[in-house]
Amino acid sequence: DHPDAIDDEQVSQLWRRAAEAYGKAGEQDEAVRVYRQAVKWNPDHVGTRMALAEMLLANGQLQAAANELDRILERDPDNVPALLRQGEVVAASGSWWRWNSPVSYWERVLALEPDNATARQLLADFYQDQADYHLSWADYESAVEMYQQALEYQPENARLLAALGG
């Protein structure tokens, strides 16, 4: 109640700055702990939640990062950075068949921003990886389909065109 007291948002900002310092010092576990304190003081600040998710990813905590990104997307379903990153997390988990496909997140980004280069690149890379997987099993028909899917997102990509030609 003191007139000079700082509000919750300012407390959160102090915790976030401390977390950033820990992150720069390579103390990722401590940075995660401190980011969580920042979120506790201002749970509605999307930037702090996103910074926590990024630090969780840097610390190898994929599931915790996915959970934090879900919290962001619950509050703001059209948050493009969170959608992009959540797709990457789902793809990196290696078990995307249990959840939404990473493609659904990136396609949502393109629905919001049709010219989003990052989403187009991630989709093209995803489909190229799928094509390469099918090639490794000599499933040429499926590989061709995956390369064609990739080219829908990057029609001028020389690497994809060469792979499809092969």
pLDDT higher than 70, residue 10: yes
Residue-level pLDDT at 96: 52
- Mean of the pLDDT values across residues 21-38? 94
Other CB atoms within 10 A of residue 49 CB? 23
Cα Rg for the chain, rounded, in angstroms?
20
CA 11 – CA 129 distance, rounded (Å)? 44
Which whole-number Å values give the CA distances from 39 to 20, 44, 50, 159, in the listed order? 13, 8, 10, 43
> Percentage of the chain with pLDDT > 90?
81
Residue-level pLDDT at 97: 54
Other CB atoms within 10 A of residue 119 CB? 24
pLDDT higher than 80, residue 144: yes
Instruction: List the single range of 45-59, 85-99, 133-147 with lowest mean pLDDT.
Output: 85-99
pLDDT higher than 80, residue 57: yes
CA 71 – CA 106 distance, rounded (Å)? 18
